[in-house]
Copies of this chain bind each other. A is one copy, B any other.
Amino acid sequence: MGIEIERKFLVQGEQWKLGATRSLLCQGYISAELGRIVRVRIDGDAAMLTIKGMTTGIRRAEWEYPIPVADARSLLDELCQKPLIEKYRYRLPIGGLIWEIDEFLGDNAGLVVAEVELESESQLFDRPVWLGEDVSHDHRYANASLLQHPFSHW
């Protein structure tokens, strides 16, 4: 088990794309129930099964296991709620941290969200100029929530 402490922001402009690497993520949910989330994700040629517990502030317990990509594909096809979530994930190192910027596709096209994982809730970090509103506490931006209420319907 790990603890995930994460801040989430909207972004401004496209300047953040400079220097970032990009991969295509496809993910789905076997359980999208808050506090008992079970997520399947394919990220390039790797796949993960991730279980997420209840969120307290910006802290959440997380259990993550690598699984064969073929298993992930069959879980996504056969068990996960549709539509699946597809997004480009950009990774950008800034001040010793890795920012992950997700550009959503499909029903969530138009949504771009930047996340940074911290060691503690109080950890200070450099704020890139392209950072927009802090949405860490806005549940609508949770991927499991976008499944039920995609961005294009907001």
Chain A, range 65-121, C-beta contacts under 8 Å to B: 65, 67, 70-71, 74-75, 78-79
Q: How many copies does the complex hold?
A: 2
Bound state CA distance, A43 and B78, in angstroms? 28
The chain A residues found within 8 Å of chain B, CB to CB, are: 1, 30-31, 33, 35-36, 38, 49, 51, 53, 61, 63, 65, 67, 70-71, 74-75, 78-79
- Which among B33, B61, B67, B78 is the interface contact of A53 at CB below 8 angstroms? B78
Bound state CA distance, A38 and B40, in angstroms? 12
Which of A33, A71, A79 has the most chain B CB within a 10 Å cutoff? Answer: A79
Of all chain B residues, the one with the shortest Cβ separation from A65 is B65
